[in-house]
Chains A and B, each alone.
Chain A
């Protein structure tokens, strides 16, 4: 199993350009997440999905959109990139055990490094 994969691994954008980051998982996980990680800060949740066809806003959703048309894929879009979106983006997925308030283990992709000039 490949686990969680992300493409691309690295990208440079100019301000105002758009792009889509692709995340794929082969573990049949219900939940998927997009985070950004900036120096000195914890992972911050951008958007997440609890199942195919559903998405929800996280802690820092502004400037991003997501889609989950297939269970195994979770796409993150930047419509008009800004320098403040320079970051490392991680996708993660987790299993739904059905146990309430359990905090399921999250499995991460290798990350996408994005530089917006």
Chain B
């Protein structure tokens, strides 16, 4: 089993719709969690951290369920510019600087 697992997609979604991404993780990647965004042929950039209580940043909401080892990202009122690959990331249990990367879910927003 991969340490951080995501459905590769792609998700094809009409503009304005709500998009949900899911991610599961194993015990080795269970400290801190993040969502990164990667545009085509670009580098990954931090989108948001994921807190146990859930957190929101504008149209983006992240949730963490430690009991189910499950992380989610919700994008409301999706825009064409949201088209990208979304990477689910966990930090290693025994390290405060090494991250474990999911392979990413590709999102395509259609007009």
Q: Which residues of B are at the interface with A, using a C-beta cutoff of 8 A?
A: 2, 4, 8, 31-34, 41-46, 49, 87, 89-104
Given contacts A42-B102, A45-B98, A102-B91, 10 further A-B contacts (CB under 8 A): A40-B8, A42-B104, A96-B97, A101-B93, A103-B32, A103-B33, A103-B92, A103-B97, A103-B99, A108-B45
How many interface residues does chain A have, given as a range?
20 to 34
A-B contact count (CB 8 A): 66
Given contacts A101-B91, A103-B90, contact A31 B42 (CB under 8 A): no
Q: Is the interface of B mostly helix, strand, loop or mixed?
A: loop
A84 an interface residue at 8 Å Cβ cutoff? Answer: no
Cα distance A109–B32 when bound, in Å?
A: 23
Q: Is the interface of A mostly helix, strand, loop or mixed?
A: loop
Contacts of B87 in A (CB 8 A): 42-43
Are A108 and B93 in contact, with the CB atoms below 8 A?
no
Are A105 and B46 in contact, with the CB atoms below 8 A?
yes
Are B43 and A103 in contact, with the CB atoms below 8 A?
no
* Contacting residue for A102 out of B32, B89, B102, B104, CB 8 A: B32
